[in-house]
Amino acid sequence: QSALTQPASVSGSPGQSITISCTGTSSDVGAHNYVSWYQQHTGKAPKVVIYDVTYRPSGVSNRFSGSRSGNTASLTISGLQAEDEADYYCCSYTTSSTYVFGSGTKVTVL
């Protein structure tokens, strides 16, 4: 159950778009349409921004979108805003009926 691989940090200027990748294997990311993404501000509980690869929960900005190609899932944040500065984690259901999180990505708004 190795953590999914994410870049340690991604940055962008306000208004720009950024993409965070999440690479796993055919036993997790590539096996199901069950990848979710979480935003975590410092000292707070995680908050889901994308579930089941592409779906956005109600109340989450449409600036957040998700996709997947093979064993790599991606989260794109468009129109970057200061409030988007946080840590982001992907999470995948696995073929063993367990879950695995990504290593986490710190998003910085320049």
Partner 1 sequence: QLVESGGGLVKTGESLRLSCEASGFAFNKFTMIWVRQAPGKGLEWVSSISSGSTYMYYADSLRGRFTVSRDNAKSVMFLEMHSLRAEDTAIYFCARRLLSDYGVITRGFDPWGQGTLVTVSS
Q: Would you tell me which residues interact with partner 1 (CB under 8 A)?
A: 1, 3, 32, 34, 36, 38, 40, 45-48, 50-52, 55, 57-58, 87, 89, 91, 93, 96-104
Nearer to partner 1, 16 or 98 (CB): 98
Output b/e per residue, 59-87; b: 16+ Cβ within 10 A: ebeeebbbebeebbbbbebeebeeebbbb
Residue 32 CB neighbour total at 10 angstroms: 15
Nearer to partner 1, 16 or 95 (CB): 95
Nearer to partner 1, 4 or 18 (CB): 4
The two three-digit tokens of residue 64, written as one number: 């957040």
